[in-house]
Structure 1
């Protein structure tokens, strides 16, 4: 998988992050915490996320190792669905800085996903 394809895949998963989080929590609330991991989760828009719990681990590994600015940017982008103009103005950063921080987070998440076997590099 090429780097651009990996980043696009990670971005798609990140856009569904709140729904994945809720779906996994709901699953374990119904099935109990000892239930086996979900094999997949289909989101409202029809996008299917394979191994959603592994994806959450990859996302949280990247998120927890990020600094406060990057976490705030990621929260605004993927949880609040805020556009870059509003976020960059609120955080007082340039467009270039916004996308550099976002790309760094996506790449970090992609690398964690590779370690968990979710993405493969050829």
Structure 2
């Protein structure tokens, strides 16, 4: 079976917004290199790193392997990542399973919000 993974990272500097779209079947390794790419973008904000907002649109993922879900949790929990945390963090999710997995991530990032609709997530992220 082919390993199909897709992602896109867009930056809206005026709004200090990082918009990440993920699709496919993501392995822990895939999430690791995508995470590194996102952290590199965060660093380009310079002194505004940590003041940014991040949207993860995972509506293109129907199943996240348990090892991948744990890799996301471990990444957010790692002390070296904390200085790069977004001021506001939103996920767009369409499946019950992934919503449940993200609730585990909320143990590390209790400020994250989960949305079923991308427009609602963006509106929440961009409100002050």
TM over 0.5: no
Bigger RCO (CA 8 Å, 6+ sep)? 1
Higher strand residue share: 2
The structure with the largest helix share of the pair is: 1
- Normalised by the shorter chain, which TM-score bucket? under 0.3
